[in-house]
Chain A
């Protein structure tokens, strides 16, 4: 399991992101998330170019943009699936997720899941 970030570890900076993250609470907790084969992290790094315009690769949380580094891969996949199926609210994320297939989401999950939350982001 990767280190869980966000509401549990964040402080003031993460407060606003809570609104976004709590929406995925039930999704995170669901046990029916499909077990996926390990994604191709190198492919994920390429795909991540779109993500890191908003989500900081250091794992730092800013404003309403939650950190997405070091999540458990199954959680990352479940959240992205929820955007792709338009079950979860957010126009930007729905639009981005709609273009991703299972392999690409798994690749992103592997890439971001393998990153380490940088110490200076935990202030």
Chain B
């Protein structure tokens, strides 16, 4: 297993991870897994491979940031249910408890022939198996008139971090009677119920600050959306007159936006002088996955349902939002579940660990109003053509207030659970 690639990679990693005390020329007698991306897919995969291989596999996490802001529960920050620190988490323990080398750089490219990841500083790090979990990239050309240069004026807030804080700041500035327009994304996208939970949380924030004459117009390119009946019932119940959802037949298409005048034009109507425009554009797999040839024409990456291995390259596993995971939604829970399957398969592959047939699970909780939470979820298994739902559930419209409150308690507990599972 000792070859030039590993020696070179060892040197690069030490430079990057400065001070971890690894010798520059370390004979790499053990296999190495490199993980690109420190979200629910990547962080979970890195942790489980390192934890369960007990030192038999060298695990390197390539993630430029020191902390991770979760997209899940970022709507609760918008709604005032959590502060920003509560959705921000450090990677420290992955190194201190599991010996993972956290390389604080961007992964710029994947050299599949040489099995190397090219880092931001030009150095390279070799891998035996690679986990690619970059999340989504936004398609900045998908909404006419809107582009990356306008994301400060009309934020997307679909990549959690400063954008999330910006959206909250803009929301706080909306005057009573102001018009908020959300442009919802087309399928497939990260977090199917997310836009509608966000509408709920924005409406809650407006309501609790006596701005009930403000209005949120949702312009949706989709005919239907996740948990639609539950959300629409909730909006009627908690925020009467404040939310208007318009499907494509009603708005007749989003023709253009003008960030300069804060105008949104549809086939039927022009919304001028909007107080806030939240543009959630179309999405695709993170650029590095697309550039490496791991995606198909859909912009996302096909995988083997039994292992999460890329159908394009058996040495690479693609997790989370970047993957085409069949019936599983693009969610943090899904990515975490997929990561455990991939981690097991990689250990089986590299160190002959026991493997079992893949099982996947997901649940997405959505907060509509204080103590009024709904959920959707399911269990999934690999079938030859795709990961397939074997049983699913969704909340009902006639649930009691006590039950919904209990579901919210579950939601909060799940968050702490998945964070512990990823980072502790």
Contacts and interface: CB of A to CB of B under 8 A. Distances in A.
Contacts of A50: 337, 340, 359, 361
Interface string A40-76: 0011001101101111111011111100000000000
A79 B366 CA distance: 27
B410 to A, nearest CB: 4
Contacts of A85: none
Nearest to A100: B359
B345 to A, nearest CB: 12
A96 interface: yes
Contacts of A91: 375, 377, 393, 395
B66 interface: no
Interface string B387-404: 000111101000000000
Contacts of A99: 359, 379, 390-391
Contacts of B337: 49-50, 53
Interface residues of A, number: 30
Given A95-B379, A99-B391, A53 B414 contact: yes
A95 B391 contact: yes
A54 B409 contact: no
A46 B355 CA distance: 9
Contacts of A82: none
Q: Which of B413, B414, B416 has the most CB of A within 10 A?
A: B413
A63 B418 contact: no
B205 interface: no
B292 to A, nearest CB: 27
Q: Which of A52, A53, A57 has the most CB of B within 10 A?
A: A53
B361 A96 contact: yes
B258 interface: no
Nearest to B416: A62
Contacts of B378: 95
B152 interface: no
B408 to A, nearest CB: 8
B356 A46 contact: yes
A27 interface: no
Interface of B: 48, 333, 336-337, 340, 344, 354, 356, 359, 361, 363, 375, 377-379, 390-393, 395, 406-418, 420-421, 424
